[in-house]
């Protein structure tokens, strides 16, 4: 059996110091960081995404940051393919891939096979791709609706990869899987940086003020001024969406904006916590307690990784 690549995953809600911890771990074990963040992949969206600046990124190699213009499409499946490619490249250099971020589905898609329970049939797949290229995606999407209405409702009509896999799952026999099989493609060590919810919310409140003080509103206005539409995907993320609405109104109240960003960020953090708590293999680290420094957390992860 081929030996699986060892991967460290550092996840958790916003404001928990994931990026700082990942850098310190990378420095200790010759690691390279893959950002699992749905906004950091886009250029210009720096402050609101918590993107490490150029000086910080020089402390350890970073990947999947500043890859795309804001108006370019980038799906969950695009991330999965890019992240898996980076994992292979990093391991091929003899270094340790460190997947870190708060977008839980990005992490899940990278670690697990979310395509479904069937083995792809080369002839069927070639036929489906031929039809998409010559007849368009819409024809196959309508076919998927007839084959599996429930699955089709969860797939975007332009997501050709998932449309093809949906049709394959509907037409091909399911693989028999062992109850004891590991669902991860990699030998993943998963660490959840979290803490009491009230502590997380306190951090979020401080973080929002800090980001606004650093020029978050100006950053947003400058991106819009370059001609990018407010309909671009990164503008729909928490914080940027509220700031765009604030700018559009022309007479918004700053205190109201601050509270709205805080509220929406807390809601986002709650969803992040719920998702990461569902990962039973994750090792919980109470990084919000104030008793642990980033170095303490990095030392714990490093020593545990070396013992494995």
Instruction: Based on the fold, state whether residues 157 and 108 are members of the same structural domain.
Output: no
Residue 135 located in a structural domain: yes
Q: What is the pLDDT of residues 28-57, one digit of tens each?
A: 999 999 999 999 999 999 999 999 999 999
Model confidence pLDDT, tens digit, residues 264-308: 999 999 888 887 888 888 899 998 777 889 999 999 999 999 988
pLDDT in tens, 214-251: 999 999 999 999 999 999 999 999 999 999 999 998 87
Report pLDDT digits (tens) over 95-133: 999 999 988 888 988 998 655 445 556 777 777 877 777
**Residue 284 in domain:** yes
Domain CATH number, residue 159: 1.10.20.140
Same domain, 48 and 165: no
Q: pTM for the full model?
A: 0.78
Neighbours of 116 (CB within 10 A): 17
Does residue 219 share a domain with residue 104?
Answer: yes
Question: Quick one: 244 and 106 in the same domain?
Answer: yes
Work out how many domains the chain is built from and give that number: 2
179 in a structural domain: no
Does residue 21 contact residue 33 with C-beta atoms inside 8 Å? no
Contacts of 8 (CB under 8 A, 6+ apart): 25, 31, 96, 97, 98, 99, 188, 189, 191, 301, 305
Structural domain contains residue 218? yes
User: Is residue 232 situated within a structural domain?
Assistant: yes
Chain-centre distance for alpha carbon 20 = 17
Same domain? For 104 and 196 the reply is yes
Q: Are residues 248 and 105 in the same domain?
A: yes
What is the rounded distance in angstroms from the CA atom of residue 88 to the CA atom of residue 181?
Answer: 22
Give 188's strand partners: 7
Residue 181 lies in a domain: no
The residue range of the domain holding 130 is 122-171
pLDDT at 177: 40
Q: In whole angstroms, how far apart are CA 173 and each of 55, 165, 169?
A: 51, 13, 8
């Amino acid at each position: 059996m081929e030996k699986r690549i060892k991967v460290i995953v550092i996840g958790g809600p916003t404001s928990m110091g994931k990026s700082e911890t990942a850098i310190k771990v990378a420095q200790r074990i010759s690691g390279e960081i893959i950002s699992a963040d749905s906004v950091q992949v886009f250029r210009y969206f720096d402050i609101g995404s918590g993107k490490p600046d150029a000086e910080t990124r020089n402390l350890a190699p970073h990947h999947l940051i500043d890859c795309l213009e804001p108006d370019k499409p980038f799906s969950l499946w695009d991330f999965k393919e890019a992240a898996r490619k980076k994992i292979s490249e990093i391991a091929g250099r003899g270094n340790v891939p460190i997947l870190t971020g708060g977008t839980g589905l990005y992490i899940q898609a990278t670690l697990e096979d979310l395509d479904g329970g069937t083995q792809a049939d080369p002839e069927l797949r070639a036929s489906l791709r031929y039809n998409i290229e010559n007849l368009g995606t819409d024809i196959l999407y309508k076919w998927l609706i007839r084959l599996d209405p429930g699955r089709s409702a969860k797939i975007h009509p332009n997501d050709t990869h998932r449309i093809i896999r949906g049709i394959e799952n509907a037409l091909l026999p399911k693989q028999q899987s062992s109850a004891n099989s590991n669902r991860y493609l990699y030998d993943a060590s998963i660490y959840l940086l979290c803490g009491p919810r009230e502590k997380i919310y306190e951090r979020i409140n401080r973080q929002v003020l800090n980001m606004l003080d650093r020029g978050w509103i100006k950053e947003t206005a400058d991106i819009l001024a370059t001609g990018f539409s407010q309909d671009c995907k990164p503008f729909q993320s928490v914080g940027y969406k509220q700031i765009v609405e604030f700018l559009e109104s022309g007479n918004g109240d700053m205190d109201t904006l601050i509270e709205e960003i805080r509220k929406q960020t807390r809601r986002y953090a709650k969803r992040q916590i719920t998702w990461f708590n569902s990962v039973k293999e994750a090792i919980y680290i109470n990084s919000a307690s104030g008793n642990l420094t980033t170095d303490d957390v990095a030392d714990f992860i490093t020593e545990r990784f070396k013992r494995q």
